[in-house]
Chains A and B, each alone.
Chain A
Amino acid sequence: DVVMTQSPLSLPVTLGQPASISCRSSQSLVFSDGNTYLSWFQQRPGQSPRRLIYKVSNRDSGVPDRFSGSGSGTDFTLKISRVEAEDVGVYYCMQGTHWPSSFGGGTKVEVK
């Protein structure tokens, strides 16, 4: 299976400040069609995961534009330009290029 490694494990952030989460895959996530199937999910406390970003950098409908995704190949990043209180939770990357799909271990974003 493709191993997805996220860092950091925990990310204390001051409200209004930026945050950045790294995700690395053990294999390239570029598919033969030229697309890269890397998604980001947010899981707030007590809730199900929610997709924020798909295919590296495409934001889902309703997702604030302070969230952005970037990267290529095996290295990817989720950035929050200015953290708000509602952003507290655990963030996961997931690769959907290789079977089976696999998730990173998660990064917990908390307010300092």
Chain B
Amino acid sequence: QVQLQESGPGLVKPSETLSLTCTVSGGSVYDGSYYWSWIRQSPEKGLEYIGYVYYSGSTRYSPSLKSRVTISIDTSKNQFSLKLSSVTAADTAVYYCARVPGVDILNFGMDVWGQGTTVIVSS
């Protein structure tokens, strides 16, 4: 059974870069049937899709975050990562990594989710 686990700092200072890693177990990020995504959830914005990375390294980002987001993949470690730069209090949220069956822009629905990690942006 595929499992995903997020890791990274729970507190980030304003203007700095948020960095999270998702470790995949029980499956491989090299599986071309899926892409590997980040989603965040806050009381203010609800569930918000950040973007995804494919096993090949190709990426697609939400336009609202595109200028600040980088998602990358490390197939040797079976991990993928999120970097969000120039964070503000508005980036405080629970961040989830998830596996998504899909093709190009099509999203068939995240079928495996990590447990989520809370990130607070504060000085």
| A interface residues (Cβ-Cβ under 8 A, vs B) | 1, 31, 37, 39, 41, 48-51, 53-55, 60, 92, 94, 96-103, 105-106
Contacts and interface: CB of A to CB of B under 8 A. Distances in A.
A37 B107 contact: yes
A96 B62 CA distance: 13
Interface stretch (B10-18, B24-32, B77-85, B112-120): B112-120
B47 A49 contact: yes
Nearest to B110: A51
Contacts of B48: 103
B111 A51 contact: yes
Contacts, number: 61
A96 B46 contact: no
Interface residues of B, number: 22
A103 B109 contact: no
B28 to A, nearest CB: 20
Nearest to B109: A39
B99 to A, nearest CB: 10
A54 B62 contact: no
A96 B60 contact: no
Contacts of A54: 108-109, 111
